[in-house]
A and B are shown apart, each in its own frame.
Chain A
């Protein structure tokens, strides 16, 4: 296959072309309460082709090799159209021609574990949950995704990289009368099967929370001083700020781009956000993005000041900034777009008890339940929380949502404690793509005057 791709690249009469051929192996097993709903392992493959010609850029995802020629023809027309209409030609920031072959380091390779053994692990955790009082349902899934990517471009880059993600994740429902309460649970990561073994404590803890939620009450909606737990802080970094640090989101928003200039003071002294996909063992780890660029750690905000952003080669050229290696596709069915790999808030110097004291009368919000941004506004859900009264944790409160404006909220960050916890399962939808390796983390963090939904 590599030789055939090389021929296409060699004979294409364009200024730049890249082709990513990828095989994806997915193993899935799923329980819906006591019922096993799915068991299977499948392999698919395909190509993502991009060209840059006379300043116009276009790309297409293609399943069948025989369609690549037709796709390139269509893309040539599209590139010509773009070059004739746009005053400013598209340029790609320079990237070194690289040859590499990267294999993941796994503690117990999931591919060597028999299907029956994986199913048994899933079944045991599912049974453990369902055996508890008040628990009426589970949706629990084992997933194993192996991407084998082979990226080649007309500048001589030729990189193979393999990425393995494995996990067990789902939802636990407790029910009493017509009241249904649910929490999410997940274990796993990028290190192999070891991350799935001997993890009963995680499931037992979540079952306890789901049951306790049956007696919890809603809070009154309004403004509160809130402490986010590490999982929530990670989602805050991702939703509230991370997406705006993806340069493709602001590249052609002229007025907004000025606000997001490097050096702009956006937040309080207490917030530093870093994107780092080079941490071995982290869910968001990879070596090269889907443009063949080596990923590097980027400080996005340091003590409230914008220091950098995440780039593709195109946006790096447009902003006249250095390449960062953050152009990632979901799989062979998609073109790469700018993505967070692993984003986190840098821990502070305080103890958790000091955050509680500082919050005095507020909320401690725990574990994320989905989030979304439409630019500078964000929202994200919490699975449960606690009232904070007189600087101490009080009763449990029901799941709620937090909403805010990035620029106002970054200024209200008062403190972070000295913990640093990374998620075991990530995931982020952008456009029609879902990135399962989008990871996040952080400490407990205090924000004053946050808008929280409720009764």
Chain B
């Protein structure tokens, strides 16, 4: 890697080499059959060079042909992609441990054992079908640049996902759990998921109209995505964001705060630096309804004349993709709503006729930049007189986040599923448009 950097230094004013390596194993148990035993041992390198304020880039997945990669970066300079920024130098950053050495000795048998423990606990309880997905991942990242920066991190995670499928369908209740190392899922959580599953086996036909809607963790993903696009430095620079000119102003209800905290070790893959080597920090995007801060990578920090926010990542928001092949873009990987004061049970109990959205399909459809959403319930539970009585048949909820988040009826006092990678408190809104029969 150092040899590669030295070669790039010779042909540029500044240069950077990014390395990413991943090892994983996965398996699933579907209806009692062990399948999908797979994994990867993959990795690669990405180069960025700056010469005369122009950016060149290339990537390779092994070091056999360093010269070709350097030539590729030089060739890409011909496009004259502007670079008003410099790569950061070495500085002190937070020390974060997000690696569990026990993951090194995990194997397929351990994953199967975990699955069997869950399926034994739930034996006979799931009337449709129980599918379980398990896996682990170890990742090494290193970034070095011509300014003397040398950042290294290793991370690990282990995951389990449970899919309780309703009888005679292919849909069901799905919940995933991530942790830095091997960790048993609490029986209490399994009981809660099972109880919800049982209560929502009957289908309920719901009329089109406005209802109170309680969004659970995974259902908040499309809402957060639209906030992400609005607060993205790139869209503010392009003047295509509805939040343009709204910095410091109230844009949502005072009870709404949105935080991006990569340093929170309770989250999946916390990190002390981004994919450009910039140190990360807790960033308040929305603070009690006020649009507090946009987020940028090095490129847009320079364009917007602001300090980098440690949010330049080689990834996409919806489908992460291969970090080697993706250029650093402004990205929030640790974004969540702040908790409120309401109990989950009280919010459910407050609904005379309402819907709990457990998960959705179609978050990427619609006019995301404008804040519009229109997503399928997958599933949505119907609540009558404060009790879950079944699941909604063929329902779709829609709205605009800049309207929806002006009035919030309740925010849960905790992250509902702490080990869910989208860990959020549940949020209740009145008068959400539901399209159904």
Q: Point out the residues of chain A lying under 8 angstroms from B148, CB to CB.
A: none
The proximity string for B residues 316-332 relative to A, scoring 1 for CB distances below 8 Å and 0 otherwise, is: 00011110110100000
Q: Which residues of A contact B170 (CB under 8 A)?
A: 244, 249-250, 253, 256, 374-376
Chain B CB within 10 A, most for which of A178, A244, A374, A453? A453
Q: Report whether A180 and B365 are in contact in the complex, using a CB–CB cutoff of 8 Å.
A: no
Q: Does A74 contact B (CB under 8 A)?
A: yes
Nearest CB in chain A to that of B31: its residue: A252
Interchain nearest-CB distance for B365 vs A (Å): 3
Mark interface residues in B390-408 (1 if CB within 8 Å of A CB, else 0).
0001111110000000000
- Contact A42/B72 with A32-B234, A249-B170, A378-B361 known, Cβ cut-off 8 Å: yes
Contact of B70 with A by CB under 8 A: no
- B352 within 8 Å of A by Cβ? no
Q: How many Å from the CB of B270 to the closest CB on chain A?
A: 21
Cα of A33 to Cα of B238 in the assembled complex, Å: 7
The 8 Å CB contact of B44, one of A38, A63, A75, is: A63
Known pairs A38-B81, A136-B240, A404-B394; A374 contacts B361 (CB<8 A): yes
Binds A, one of B60-68, B259-267, B414-422: B60-68
| Chain A residue contacts of B239, Cβ below 8 A | 136-137, 175
Min CB gap A273→B, angstroms: 18
Nearest A-chain residue to B435, judged by Cβ = A221
Q: Which of B9-17, B105-113, B150-158, B305-313 forms part of the interface with chain A?
A: B105-113
Chain B residues whose C-beta falls within 8 Å of the C-beta of A418 in the assembled complex: none
* Complex: chain A residue closest to B63, CB-CB: A64
Once bound together, how far apart are the Cα atoms of A35 and B361, in whole Å?
33
Closest A residue to B234 by beta carbon equals A32
Q: Which of B167, B171, B238, B393 has its CB near the most chain A CB atoms (within 10 A)? A: B238
Interface residues of B in 21-61 (CB under 8 A from A): 25, 27, 30-31, 33-35, 37-44, 56-61
Q: Select from chain B the residue with minimum beta-carbon distance to A51.
A: B37
Task: Convert A424-455 into 0s and 1s, putting 1 for each residue whose CB lies closer than 8 angstroms to a CB of B.
Answer: 00000100101000000000000000011111
A86 close to B (CB within 8 Å): yes
- A104 in contact (CB, < 8 A): no
Residue from B208, B327, B361 within 8 A of A222 (CB atoms):
B208
**B168 A255 Cβ-Cβ under 8 A:** yes
A81: chain B residues within 8 A (beta carbon): 34, 37, 108-109, 112
Interface size classification for chain B? 35 or more
Contact of B366 (CB < 8 Å), options: A44, A78, A377, A401: A401
Answer whether residue B91 sits at the interface, using C-beta atoms and an 8 A cutoff: no
Instruction: Using CB atoms, name the residue of chain A closest to B40.
Output: A61
B157 CB to closest chain A CB, in angstroms? Answer: 14
The interface residues of chain A lying within 8 Å CB-to-CB of B73 are 40
In the complex, identify which listed stretch (B93-101, B176-184, B333-341, B369-377) lies at the interface while the others stay far away. B369-377
Q: Name, among B68, B75, B170, the residue most crowded by chain A CB atoms within 10 Å (CB to CB).
A: B170
State A54–B239 Cα separation when bound (angstroms). 61
Residues in chain A near residue B30, CB distance under 8 A:
251-253
Question: Which residues in B have their C-beta under 8 angstroms from that of A85?
Answer: 34, 112
Q: Contact: B374 with A253, CB < 8 Å?
A: no
Residues of B near A88 (CB, < 8 A) are 33
Interface centre among B241, B396, B398 (most CB of A within 10 A): B396
From known contacts A82-B35, A453-B435, infer whether A178 and B398 are also in contact, taking CB-CB under 8 Å: no
A455 to B396, CA, bound (A): 11
B433 on interface, CB distance cutoff 8 Å: yes
Q: A60-B39, A77-B108, A173-B240 are in contact. Are A42 and B370 (CB under 8 A)?
A: no
Known contacts A42-B325, A79-B37: A63-B61 contact under CB 8 Å: yes
A136 to B362 alpha-carbon distance, docked (Å): 26
Residues of B with C-beta under 8 A to A119: 79
Within 8 A of B (CB), among A267-311: none
Give the distance in Å from the alpha carbon of A82 to the alpha carbon of B153 in the complex: 34
Cα–Cα, bound, A454→B167 (Å): 31
Interface residue? A92 (CB, 8 A): no
A62's contact among B40, B59, B131, by CB below 8 Å, is which? Answer: B40
* B362 and A381 contacting across the interface, CB-CB below 8 Å: yes
CB of A352 within 8 Å of the partner chain: no
Q: Indicate whether B348 reaches chain A with its CB closer than 8 angstroms.
A: no
**Residue of A with least CB distance to B69:** A42
Residues in B113-139 with C-beta less than 8 Å from chain A: 128-129, 131
* In the complex, chain A residues 359-381 whose Cβ is within 8 Å of any chain B Cβ: 369-381
Chain A residues with Cβ below 8 Å from B147 are none
On whether the beta carbons of B78 and A253 are closer than 8 Å, the reply is no
A interface residues, how many (CB within 8 angstroms): 94
Are the C-beta atoms of A58 and B38 separated by less than 8 Å?
A: yes
Q: Is A39 an interface residue (CB 8 A)?
A: yes
Q: In the complex the two chains form, is A36's CB within 8 Å of B82's CB? A: yes
Q: Are A333 and B394 in contact (CB under 8 A)?
A: no
Q: Are A403 and B435 neighbours in the complex by a CB distance under 8 Å?
A: yes
Contact of B68 among A43, A46, A250 (CB under 8 A): A43
Q: Does B90 contact A (CB under 8 A)?
A: no
Contact B369–A453 (Cβ < 8 Å): no
B396→A221 contact, CB < 8 A = yes
Contacting A180 at CB < 8 Å: which of B72, B165, B370?
A: B370
Contact A369 B366 (CB under 8 A): yes
**Complex Cα spacing A147 to B208, Å:** 48
Could you tell me if B72 and A41 are in contact, using CB atoms closer than 8 angstroms? yes
Flag whether A182 is at the interface (Cβ < 8 A): yes
Residues of B within 8 A of A39 (CB): 76, 78-79, 81
Nearest chain-B residue to A79 (Cβ)? B37
A46–B42 CB distance below 8 A:
yes
Q: Which of A29-83 contact B (CB under 8 A)?
A: 29, 32-33, 35-46, 56-64, 67, 70-71, 74-75, 77-79, 81-82
Verify if A399 is at the interface (C-beta below 8 Å from B).
yes
Chain A residue numbers with a CB within 8 Å of B81 are 36-39
Interface residue A317 (Cβ < 8 Å from any Cβ of B): no
Q: Are B42 and A403 in contact (CB under 8 A)?
A: no
- CB < 8 Å neighbour of A375 from B171, B325, B374, B437: B171
Q: How far is the CB of A142 from chain B (nearest CB, A)?
A: 11
What distance in Å separates the Cβ of A108 from its nearest Cβ neighbour in chain B?
A: 21
Q: Report A-chain residues with C-beta under 8 Å of the C-beta of B33.
A: 86, 88, 252
Name which residue of chain B comes closest to A331, CB basis: B322
Contact of B240 among A82, A137, A244 (CB under 8 A): A137
Interface membership of chain A positions 11-31, coded 1 if the CB is closer than 8 angstroms to chain B and 0 otherwise: 000000000000000100100
Is the pair A401, B41 in contact by a Cβ cutoff of 8 Å?
Answer: no
A245 within 8 A of B: no
Beyond A44-B59, A255-B168, 7 additional contacts (C-beta under 8 Å) are: A61-B40, A71-B41, A85-B112, A180-B241, A252-B131, A434-B319, A453-B396
23 contacts between A and B (CB under 8 A): A36-B79, A39-B81, A40-B72, A42-B60, A58-B108, A61-B40, A63-B41, A64-B41, A173-B369, A179-B370, A221-B398, A221-B433, A221-B434, A252-B33, A253-B30, A333-B40, A369-B365, A374-B171, A375-B171, A376-B171, A379-B365, A400-B374, A454-B374
Q: Which 8 A-B pairs have the closest CB atoms?
A: A381-B365, A39-B79, A375-B170, A221-B435, A401-B374, A453-B374, A379-B362, A453-B398
